[in-house]
Amino acid sequence: MPKERSGPTMADVAREAGVALGTVSRVVNGEQVGDEFREKVNAAIRRLGYRYNNSGRALRTDRTNTIAFIIPNTINPYFALLVHHINVALEKRNYRMMLCFTDYDKDREIEFIRMAQQNRVDGIIALTYNPSLSIPEDIPFVTIDRFFSVSVPCIAADNFGGGALAARKLKECGCRNVAFMRIGSALTNEPSKRRDGFISACVEMGLPFEIKALEDNQSFSEFENFLSGHMHGGKLDFDGLFIGTDSLAWSIIKVLKKWNLRVPEDVQVIGFDGIRMFGDQECVVSTIAQPVQEIAETCVTTVLSRDLSSVPSLICLPVRYEFGGTTKG
């Protein structure tokens, strides 16, 4: 059942103003129109209370001024920040965002791509968790943090550089033995380069290091085992920790405190992401901050750019070290 007729159309306005339909269109779109015509049309628009209908335009032009953003959720603060900045960037260009939460579900990722195609969105920005997702070719598609192929631009922080930066910062703080810690299942694809960069810088600087992936992301018994393996006479045999994610860093610090290890005196901690909770938390972790706004802006300009073929297939944006009070400097 169609809704009841939804108000006057351009044809009604044209009739009321005594001009041609096309003229109304050009007035509405701010194109070149003679002054007296524009006046008549505008008057008629006001008289009738005409309201533009985007559906007609979408059908005719096959452009919706809408971009689909595919992301697991908006609860993770990093994702929430992305949503925010992408929306701001889109709005600046008069585009709307169609938000798609996958909840990390591969089937929903696929389903959303199909839906986006049906809705004739003008592009898709996606942060997916299916490495073998098949990317549509008939619609501009860019990814965040996931490299698929040279024909699908991937926008990410400079994860490798960030990892290296963390290592250098730990060294600067006087660390002699460091470790990298992450949740095993997370940090796939581009973000996994945080580890690579860390390793590379440690090797280069001759800083002894260890890599540890925690498989269990609920309890932290694994980490506690790790700790006890490294305790000798009440002292840790490493003094710096680079942790793949701020949220994990938070949890780790909590465990450290439980073990009466002081941060940063006994062990330096650096996280990754640059997420601050509520702006002024009591304990703010030092972190390699992602340039979220730049990532968002780049995603949008890229996905809206005329032809993606002239765009680099991997765009890495510079990270920033943020001192948070849990390292010496």
Residue numbers of the site for a second copy (CB under 8 A)? 2-3, 6-7, 51-56, 58-64, 66, 73-75, 77, 80-81, 83-84, 87-88, 91, 96-99, 101, 115, 117-120, 138, 247, 250-251, 254, 257, 277-278, 280-283
For residue 138, the partner it binds in a second copy, DNA, none, with Cβ less than 5 to 8 A by kind, is a second copy
Residue 96 contact partner, candidates a second copy, DNA, none, CB within 5 to 8 A by sort of partner: a second copy
The smaller minimum CB distance to DNA, of residues 34 and 329, is found at 34
d(CA 186, CA 217): 10
User: Shortest distance, CB of residue 38 to DNA, whole angstroms?
Assistant: 7
Q: Which does 11 bind (CB under 5 to 8 A by kind): a second copy, DNA, none?
A: DNA
Shortest CB 277 distance to a second copy, Å:
4
Look at strands 320-322 and 286-289 and give their pairing.
Answer: antiparallel
| Residue 60 binds to DNA (criterion: CB under 7 A) | yes
Tokens for 80?
């929430």
22 binds DNA (CB under 7 A): yes
Asked if residue 59 binds DNA (CB under 7 A), the reply is: yes
Does residue 313 bind DNA (CB under 7 A)? no
Q: Which two tokens stand for residue 169?
A: 């910062």
Least distance to DNA from the beta carbon of 114, Å?
13
Name the minimum Å distance from CB 269 to DNA.
55
Q: How many residues bind DNA (CB under 7 A)?
A: 33
> DSSP characters for 217-276?
SS--HHHHHHHHHTEETTEES--EEEES-HHHHHHHHHHHHHTT--TTTT-EEEEEE---
Q: How many CB atoms lie within 10 A of CB 225?
A: 11
Residue 66 found at the interface with DNA (CB under 7 A): no
Nearest approach in angstroms of CB 234 to a second copy is 23
Q: Which does 151 bind (CB under 5 to 8 A by kind): a second copy, DNA, none?
A: none
Residue 96 engages DNA in binding (rule: CB under 7 A): no
Check residue 70 for interaction with DNA (CB under 7 A). no
Cβ neighbours of residue 92 closer than 8 Å, sequence gap 6 or more = none
34 lies in the site for DNA, by CB under 7 A: yes
CA-CA-CA-CA dihedral for 222, 225, 229, 234, to nearest 10: 130
Residue 312 binds DNA (CB under 7 A):
no
Question: Under the phi-then-psi rule, with left for phi > 0, alpha for psi from -120 to 50, and beta for the rest, what region is 104?
Answer: left
Q: Which of 53, 151, 185, 281 binds DNA (CB under 7 A)?
A: 53
Diameter of the chain measured on Cα atoms:
94
Give which of 47, 65, 274, 45 is closest to 158, Cα–Cα: 274
Taking 3-state DSSP, the helix, strand and coil percentages for the chain, each rounded to the nearest 5, stand at 40, 20, 40
What six digits make up the tokens of 23? 């003229």
Choosing from 37, 101, 177, 230, the residue that interacts with DNA (CB under 7 A) is: 37
SS3 167: helix
Task: Kindly provide the residue ranges of all beta strands, DSSP E only, lying in 21-122, ordered along the sequence.
Answer: 66-71, 96-101
- Angle formed at CA 230 by CA 225 and CA 236, multiple of 5 degrees: 125
Residue 277 interacting partner from DNA, a second copy, none (CB closer than 5 to 8 Å by kind): a second copy
| 11 is a contact residue toward DNA (CB under 7 A) | yes
Residue 138 sits in the site that holds DNA (CB under 7 A): no
Find out whether 257 and 250 touch, Cβ atoms under 8 Å.
no
Chain residues binding DNA by CB under 7 A are 1-2, 5-7, 9-11, 18-23, 25-26, 28-29, 32-34, 37, 50-53, 55-57, 59-62
